[in-house]
Structure 1
Amino acid sequence: MPPTSETLTAERILEATEEVLRRHGPAKATVVDVARALGVSHGSVYRHFRTKAALREAVTKRWLDRTAQRLAGIAGADDRSPEQRLRDWLAALFAAKRHKAGDDPELFATYSVLVEELGGVVRDHIADLTGQLTRIIAAGVEAGAFPLSDPAIAARAVFHATSRFHDPGHAREWTAPGIDEEFEAVVDLLVRGLRTADGQG
């Protein structure tokens, strides 16, 4: 039975929007399509999201937040050393992005387009991820593993240095032969750099 306007929630609208985007792509998907998929009027959708742009922003944020939430668990895993957390976090980010690109390429392509349109959402997502990296590196500084004066600068450097393994613009490279070995080599180089950031060793 289709939801009534009384039982309609923002989450249900976002789920339907994702399916509509998967089916039609960002250029053709409309709020009317979303309403039709839910069996409600488009006015019911607009009661939750005032504009098409607001709906697109919310569904894109939801998509990006799934990755950030998974990574947050690793960033806060105090039972692992900061170095291991850093390695695990970067590996999980690469795995999450590769999973999205490989398992649902239509939706990945759709979100890649939307992300280009929504600079504020992307900036917030990157700030969240680099904030998690900063916490991991700061823990390494506190433990004496990473002799750094500014964990935030180091976190941004690590994030940008590994962009080949998480920036959607490189998605076609993620299934290339040897990509896992290249990822490990980059991470090893970064970890060695963090360990000897004061120039010793």
Structure 2
Amino acid sequence: MGNTGTGAGVSGDQERTRRKNGPLRVDAQRNLRHVLSAARDVFGEQGYGAPMEEVARRARVGVGTVYRRFPNKEALVRYIAAEETERLTARAREALAVEDEPWRALEGFVQRSAAAGAGRLLPPELLSATAAAEPEGSAAVRVPQQRGAGTHELLSAVGKLVERTRAAGELRSDVTVADLMLVIATTPPRLEDAGRQSAAETRLLAILLQGLRANGR
């Protein structure tokens, strides 16, 4: 999985950025951690359309500090998206390791991923790519060869979850990888009250998961 502190387990783009910029001083490492943490929070709340200035403000650094590590917003978005893809892939593989309860494994994967805000941090093209690859009503698991191995590995792992749960008779026959990714990415409107927000998210996810189950059980 990705590591916001050191960049361990980074993607190809992340590794090239690290090599280009060279080793970081202690203060620069601290600033980078703050920037990455802030970027996850800001993009998770506002989407990838949020400005770099908001990331810098939340990280309590100057916007120039952000641009010294990431030459443009696209580079920062790619970094965060690749990191989230790695996290979600690891989570899907953990679910696959639970062999005796397919539905509980799939349900837990979706719940943990949605709670972590993964749907708002994955590569922006992911949902449209999976939807295009899986026509409505298709029972087959089709994994497109996306840009970058990380995305392909994620869709492959999620595809195995879908296939296994369907084979156990616990998932509707028409549910696809794209459907699962859409459920993870779906959130209710933002509410000012944190308690109401959490309750709304939990309720919406429960309804969506029930809709995925065979016979709506």
Q: Output the TM-score relative to the length of structure 1.
A: 0.51
Provide the identity percentage. 14
Q: Distance in 1 between matches of 2:162 and 2:186?
A: 21
- Note the residue ranges of structure 1 that are not aligned, 5 or more in a row: 36-41, 101-111, 196-201
**Cα offset, 1:127, TM superposition:** 6.2
Cα contact 2:210–2:216 (8 A) shared by 1? no
Task: Tell me the amino acid that sits aligned with residue 155 of structure 1.
Answer: V
Task: Tell me the amino acid that sits aligned with residue 208 of structure 2.
Answer: V
2:23 is the alignment partner of 1:7:
yes
Task: Tell me the amino acid that sits aligned with residue 90 of structure 1.
Answer: V
- Note the residue ranges of structure 2 that are not aligned, 5 or more in a row: 1-20, 43-49, 57-61, 130-145
Q: Which residue of 2 aligns with 1:33?
A: 65
Q: Distance in 2 between matches of 1:95 and 1:190?
A: 18
Q: Which residue of 2 aligns with 1:91?
A: 111
2:178 is the alignment partner of 1:156:
yes
Q: Distance in 2 between matches of 1:182 and 1:193?
A: 19
Q: Which residue of 1 aligns with 2:138?
A: none
Q: Which residue of 1 aligns with 2:36?
A: 18
Q: How does 1:86-165 map to 2 (within 5 A)?
A: 86-97=106-117, 119-120=124-125, 130-143=155-168, 145-146=170-171, 148=173, 154-160=176-182, 162=183
Q: Distance in 2 between matches of 1:131 and 1:181?
A: 28
Structure (1 or 2) with the larger CA radius of gyration: 1
SS at match of 1:137: helix
Q: Which residue of 1 aligns with 2:213?
A: 191
- Residue deviations 1:142-186, cap 9 Å, x none? 4455574x7xx62222333x25xx346x36167154542442233
Distance change in 2, residues 1:62/1:154 (3 Å): closer
Match of 1:172 among 178, 183, 190: 190
> If each structure's helix is expressed as a fraction of its own residues, which one has the higher value?
1
Pairs aligned (count): 154
